[in-house]
Amino acid sequence: MKRVYNFSAGPSMLPQEVLEKAAAEILDFNGTGQSVMEMSHRSKAYKPIIDKTEALLRELMNIPANYKVLFLQGGASLQFAMIPLNLKKKGKAAYIDTGVWSGKALKEAKKWIEVDVVASSKDKTYNYIPKVDKVTGDYDYVHVTSNNTIFGTLMNTFPDTAGIPLVCDASSNILSEPMDVSKFGIIYAGAQKNLGPAGVTVVIIREDLIRGPEHPQGDLPADLATMLRYDTHAAEGSMYNTPPCYSIYVMGLVLEFVKKMGGVPAMAKLNGEKAAVLYDYLDSSSFFKATVAKEFRSIMNIPFVTTITDAEKAEAINKKFVAEAEAAGFVNLAGHRLVGGMRASIYNAMPIDGVKALVEFMKAFEKNNA
């Protein structure tokens, strides 16, 4: 069996050793005679799995003791609603708009809370991160998106929020480099890029932001659905209802892989090296170019386009490149329709050999098509 190099923005590739271990345990996990995907979430066999996954995430991210780790469903998109519903007190929040997903988050939040867009890079099709040193005001929270999957930009520094809870969608760069969790009120991430398979969403939330009858912030509106309350899930250890058991199990295997690789600092070093291989080629090429200025470049998602100025010819070359790349074993390289061109997502699971092989293919394609 020949494995391809999968450059999908999500769901993304998983480490091969994780897939192999999951496959080996698919019929019989740890001598139980059953698969994790058919196991009761309240059984003695399953509890060590979710406990281990949480413990590994806490270790790898240095999550302080006064934060809860929740394993939820609904993707990051459901968090776009849960955040304003749970944090709304004064009735206003600040959003920094850096791409499609931050735009969707603020659009959803407007259904329940007044939203101030304190900065945006929409004016240049989100090809940069607007500089925001400090956010002050009568806000319940400040929302940012740390990495923009579609446009390939990375927020390298976060604003001083003067005590206002900072909320971060870290779906596409969580575990790619260290994050100081203590600077945030909430970090949330869909798993399907760097954490594991689709189906589970991680929410890391400071305990003082969890509102309910037994929490100091007071209760939430009586008509708020039970499943949309953070205190519901915090009180039940993410088991108020059946959690995405198998996705949590595979996430645990991914976290074991990250630990084995040397932890998040080691992954950051490797991710920087991988990104440099591709960016160095793009910066030296006369046929391809990166779409983002150096100071804002993501190390996870790298959009690039051809330098051909004729739109019709450029589109034909794009289609030819994607087709020939797929035939050569490099899949999911088509760019998002809002950016065009191509995009290589090189999450933690992508080996550096995959990036080097892609660059060699691009060099050959450039030579044959320039």
Tell me whether residue 356 is one of the annotated catalytic residues: no
- Asked if 99 and 119 count as a contact pair (C-beta separation under 8 A), the reply is no
Cα–Cα distance between 297 and 151 in angstroms, integer?
A: 9
Tell me whether residue 101 is one of the annotated catalytic residues: yes
Phi, psi of 48 (to 5 degrees): -60, -25
With H, G, I as helix, E, B as strand and everything else as coil, classify residue 215.
coil
Cα–Cα distance between 157 and 175 in angstroms, integer?
A: 16
> Minimal CA–CA distance to 336: which of 128, 125, 106?
125
- Asked if 337 and 262 count as a contact pair (C-beta separation under 8 A), the reply is no
**From 68, 88, 97, 169, the catalytic residue:** 169
User: Which pair of tokens denotes residue 165?
Assistant: 């809870």
**From 68, 88, 101, 140, the catalytic residue:** 101
- Asked if 343 and 7 count as a contact pair (C-beta separation under 8 A), the reply is yes
User: Which pair of tokens denotes residue 116?
Assistant: 């101030």
**From 140, 193, 231, 274, the catalytic residue:** 193
Tell me whether residue 169 is one of the annotated catalytic residues: yes
- Asked if 133 and 159 count as a contact pair (C-beta separation under 8 A), the reply is yes
Token pair 């066999």 is found at: 45
Catalytic residue annotation: 101, 169, 193
